[in-house]
Amino acid sequence: MKQSFVRLVPLFLVVLCIFVSVISAQNQAYEHLVRDGKQKPIGHRPVLDDAWGSKPRNDGGQSASAVQEATAILRRIRPSTNRLSRFSKPTGVFGTTAYYAKELFFLLFMNGPPQQDLVTSKPQTRKLSPPLSQAVKLLEDAAAEKNPDAIFMLAEMNFYGNFTHPRNYSEAFRRYHELATLNGNSSAQSMIGFMYATGVGGAVKQDQAKAMLYHTLAAEAGDIRSEMTIAYRHHTGIATPRNCEEAVFYYKKVADKAIAYMRSGPPGGYSMVKDSYRIADDEGGVYGEGASVSSAGPNAKQGGPNSDVHASFDDVLEYLDLMARKGDPKATYNLAKLHYDGSRAFKRDLVSAKKRFLELARMYWTRDGKTKSDVPHGTEKLASKAAGYLGRMFLRGEGMEQSFSIAQTWFKRGIANGDALSQYSMGLMYLHGFGVTKDPVKAADYFAPAADQDLAVAQVRLGALFLDQGDVPTAMRYFDLAARNGHIEAFYYLAELSNQGVGRDKSCGIAAAYYKIVAEKAEIILSSFQEANEAYENGDLETALIDYMMAAEQGFEIGQANVAYLLDQVKPRFTLSSFIPFMKQKLSLVGDAALALIYWTRSAKQSNIDSMVKMGDYYLEGLGTAPDKEKAAACYLAAAETLQSAQAMWNLGWMHENGIGIEQDFHLAKRFYDQALETNPREAYLPVLLSLYKLRLRSWWNTVTNGRVNSIQDDPPPKKDWSFAEWIHAFLEADAAAWENMEVDDYDGTHTGHDGHMPGGDDDYYEDIDSDILESLIILSLTAALAFLVYYRAQRQRRAEQQRQQGQAQGQEGQQQQGQQEDRGMFPQANDPEFLNWQAGGVGH
Contact set with ligand NAG (CB under 6 A): 41-43, 45, 47-48, 50-51, 123, 125, 148-149, 152-153, 156, 160, 162, 168, 170-171, 174, 185-187, 531
Q: Minimum CB separation from ligand NAG for residue 139, in Å? A: 11
Nearest approach in angstroms of CB 157 to ligand NAG is 7
DSSP code for 51:
G
Judged by CB, which is closer to ligand NAG: 64, or 695?
A: 64
Nearest to 533 by CA among 365, 396, 345, 671: 345
Write down the least CB distance from residue 275 to ligand NAG, Å.
Answer: 14
C-beta closer to ligand NAG: residue 187 or 379: 187
Cβ closer to ligand NAG: 139 or 512? Answer: 139
Nearer to ligand NAG by Cβ, of 156 and 419: the residue is 156
Report the nearest approach of ligand NAG to the CB of residue 273 (Å): 18
**How many other β-carbons are positioned within 10 Å of the β-carbon of residue 784?**
11
Phi first, then psi, for residue 665 (nearest 5°) are: -160, 105
- For ligand NAG, give the closer residue by CB, 250 or 514: 250
Question: Shortest Cβ distance from residue 691 to ligand NAG (Å)?
Answer: 47
Distance set, CA 505 to CA 235, 295, 488, 497 (Å)? 20, 39, 22, 9
Q: How many CA atoms lie within 13 A of 479 on its CB side?
A: 24
Contacts for 272 with CB less than 8 Å, ≥ 6 apart = 258, 262, 488, 521, 522, 523, 524
Q: Which of 660, 658, 685 minimizes the C-alpha distance to 673?
A: 685
**CB of 227 closer than 8 Å to CB of 219:** yes
CB nearer ligand NAG, residue 180 or residue 248:
180
Based on CB atoms, which residue is closest to ligand NAG, 476 or 532?
Answer: 532
HEC readout, 717-745: CCCCCCCHHHHHHHHHHHHHHHHHHHHHH
Nearer to ligand NAG, 150 or 462 (CB): 150
**Beta bridge partner(s), residue 665:** 710
The Cα 459–Cα 259 span in angstroms is 17
Nearer to ligand NAG, 51 or 669 (CB): 51
Choice between 123 and 388, CB closer to ligand NAG: 123
The identity of residue 27, as a single letter, is: N
Please, are residues 577 and 842 in contact by the beta-carbon 8 Å criterion?
no
**DSSP at 759:** T
Name the minimum Å distance from CB 710 to ligand NAG: 58
Q: How far is the CB of 125 from ligand NAG (least distance, A)?
A: 4
Evaluate whether 200 touches 550 at the Cβ level (below 8 Å).
Answer: no
Q: Which residues pair with 343 in a beta bridge?
A: 346
**Please, which residue, 48 or 737, has the CB nearer to ligand NAG?**
48
Contacts for 234 with CB less than 8 Å, ≥ 6 apart: 240, 242, 243, 244, 246, 247, 250
| Euclidean distance between CA atoms 641 and 510, whole angstroms | 25
Q: What number of other Cβ atoms are within 10 A of residue 714's Cβ?
A: 7
DSSP H helical segments within 433-471, as ranges? Answer: 440-452, 456-468
**Minimum Å distance from CB 487 to ligand NAG?**
30
| Residue 122 C-beta: closest distance to ligand NAG, Å | 7
End-to-end CA distance of the chain: give it in Å, rounded. 72
Please state the closest distance from residue 593 (CB atom) to ligand NAG, in A.
Answer: 26
Complex with ligand NAG: residue 51 or 476, whichever CB lies closer: 51
The CA angle 816-821-824, to the nearest 5 degrees, is: 130
CB of 172 vs ligand NAG, minimal distance in Å: 8
Note whether 294 and 280 are within 8 A (CB). yes
We find the least distance from the C-beta atom of residue 52 to ligand NAG, in angstroms, to be 8
Question: How many helical (H) and strand (E) elements, i.e. helices and strands, does the chain have?
Answer: 36, 0
